[in-house]
Amino acid sequence: MSLVAIRGLFLSLCILAGYAISQVQPELIHHPALDAPPSVFGILIGFGFGGLLIAFDEMLKGLSLRAFSAATFGLVLGTMIAWLVDRSELFVYVDEYPVRWLIRLCLFIGFSYIGMVMAMRSNKDDFSLIIPYVRFSPQDKSEDHLLLDTSVIIDGRIADLIDARFVEGILIVPEFVLREIQTVADSSDSVRRERGRRGLDMLSRIQKNVYNEVKVYEQDVDAPSVDEKLVVLAKMLRATLYTNDYNLGKIAELRRIRHVNINELASALKPVILPGERLRVRIAKQGRDKGQGVGYLNDGTMIVVNGGNDRVGKEVSVEVGRLLQNATGTMIFAEIKD
């Protein structure tokens, strides 16, 4: 059931409850000076009460369970301090009841507010000062949250890392990322449609893995774009953001959010090839210069093989001669050593 349906059902129940009260005990909500029947006021009061709670729920949309727990703890602590101050003899000379009541009201509201704010601004280590010898630490170190964006899901290499057990933690896929992949899969452009369908296949593969738990974050995030939503959600969940988007990674870095770029990871894991090494490579096509053949390593590195023009389609043994670094990567020149 969607959130809108739940809110609609709750509002209907509030209206029905207001009408029922107006019929059972009309004197509670009706005044003789008013001309309208009690049922009208009962419906209006029920609608107003339900609408007020829904508005309050909307205001707390970005509040996490941790923040709510901290606020509750601060509220209890502030109330206890206010009660101790009220029970002291500090206001013993205040005899007038309205003044004493006003002082108590200000005490409880003030200390409760201060306690909530201080608890929400504190971190888990600060609670050890209040509760000695108790430190709140996760019992399972694998309970890290890993937030996946659209680009890393469509790329698919994250699924290989999961299957190889290089990724540990709970995988979080936001609902707005699922919608974006579905939109790409329904695109009229054949290339985008193919990418979207690949993303859906990768999602199915990730969900079927037996090593990591996969959760769908169904709540929406109040942000203008998908990238901004990912940054806000990663900060709220204290999750590590997995992405292939260079710009999104830089934004996460500026916001001090942990992130992993799969392209940078793959680049860091490329094997180091030195002159004189022997390699096995399949000649894919002829080169631009006479007598040259072109092959590729598993990571996509291009190898230009002298004398390989007549070996197209065959796997040959080559010896690395020199390496050329350019803007697109590394190009290897080699000689056949069969």
pTM listed for this prediction: 0.50
Q: Which residues pair with 200 in a beta bridge?
A: none
Closest CA to 85 of 116, 108, 102: 108
Tell me the β-bridge partners of 303. Answer: 295, 332
Q: Which DSSP string corresponds to 187-226?
A: -SSHHHHHHHHHHHHHHHHHHT-SSS-EEEE-S----SSH
pLDDT digits (tens, 9 = 90+) for 38-88: 788 788 888 888 888 888 877 776 666 667 777 788 788 888 888 888 777
pLDDT at 223: 85
Percent of the chain with pLDDT over 90: 22
Which residues make beta-bridge pairs with 304? 294, 333
Mean pLDDT of 186-201: 91
Complete domains list, the chain, with CATH:
3-129 (no CATH), 145-268 (3.40.50.1010), 278-336 (2.40.50.140)
Check pLDDT > 80 for residue 149. yes
- Beta partners for residue 243, in sequence order: 261
Location of structure tokens 């290339």: 191
Give every strand in the sheet of 259-261, ordered side by side.
214-217, 170-174, 145-148, 240-243, 259-261
What confidence category does residue 130 fall into, taking pLDDT thresholds of 50, 70 and 90? low
pLDDT at position 36 over 70: no
Confidence (pLDDT) at 127: 53
Instruction: Give me the amino acid identity at 277.
Output: E
| β-sheet bridge partners, residue 216 | 173
Half-sphere exposure of 264 (CA within 13 A, CB side): 11
Q: Given phi > 0 = left and psi -120 to 50 = alpha, else beta, which region is 143?
A: alpha
Residue appearing with tokens 């002291």 = 88
